[in-house]
């Protein structure tokens, strides 16, 4: 499969807790991206991490990348009900950025 593997497929946590989602891939990358999708809506780009970066932060989001293990993780700290969504990792499947391949996603539910 050209798609990445995301783990877990679904995650439910209490509001205020931290949520961690993982993404593994098979081929070399020049960047890896994370997106959020609220039910049935368009995807929203959250963060991009380049292959020479190990960690990146954006607000309550922290993304790590381990190219030796071909894996990435997305951490959402101090979760809120509004964080309830599906989260996808995506990576270019060719040298450029135009052919972007998505994982199957993690469905995150925040319980108020």
Residues 8-67 binding another protein (CB under 8 A) are 30-31, 33, 35, 40-48, 50
Q: Which is nearer to another protein, 19 or 102 (CB)?
A: 102
The least distance separating another protein from the CB of residue 42, rounded to whole angstroms, comes to 4
The least distance separating another protein from the CB of residue 20, rounded to whole angstroms, comes to 20
Q: Which is nearer to another protein, 15 or 47 (CB)?
A: 47
Task: Dump the DSSP string for 33-84.
Answer: EEEEE-TTS-EEEEEEEETT-SEEEETTEEEEEETTTTEEEEEE-S--GGG-
Rounded Cα gap, residues 23 and 80, in angstroms? 22
Residue 81 as a binder of another protein (CB under 8 A): the answer is: no
Rounded Cα gap, residues 111 and 58, in angstroms? 23
The least distance separating another protein from the CB of residue 112, rounded to whole angstroms, comes to 26
The DSSP letter of residue 15 is T
């Amino acid at each position: 499969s050209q798609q990445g593997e995301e783990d877990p497929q679904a995650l439910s946590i209490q509001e205020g807790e931290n949520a961690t989602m993982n993404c593994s891939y098979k081929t070399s990358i020049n960047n890896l991206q994370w997106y959020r999708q609220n039910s049935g809506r368009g995807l929203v780009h959250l963060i991009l991490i380049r292959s020479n970066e190990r960690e990146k932060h954006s607000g309550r989001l922290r993304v790590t990348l381990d190219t030796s293990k071909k894996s990435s993780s997305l951490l959402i700290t101090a979760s809120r009900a509004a964080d309830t969504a599906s989260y996808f990792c995506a990576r270019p499947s060719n040298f450029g950025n135009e052919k972007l391949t998505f994982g199957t996603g993690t469905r995150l539910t925040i319980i108020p």
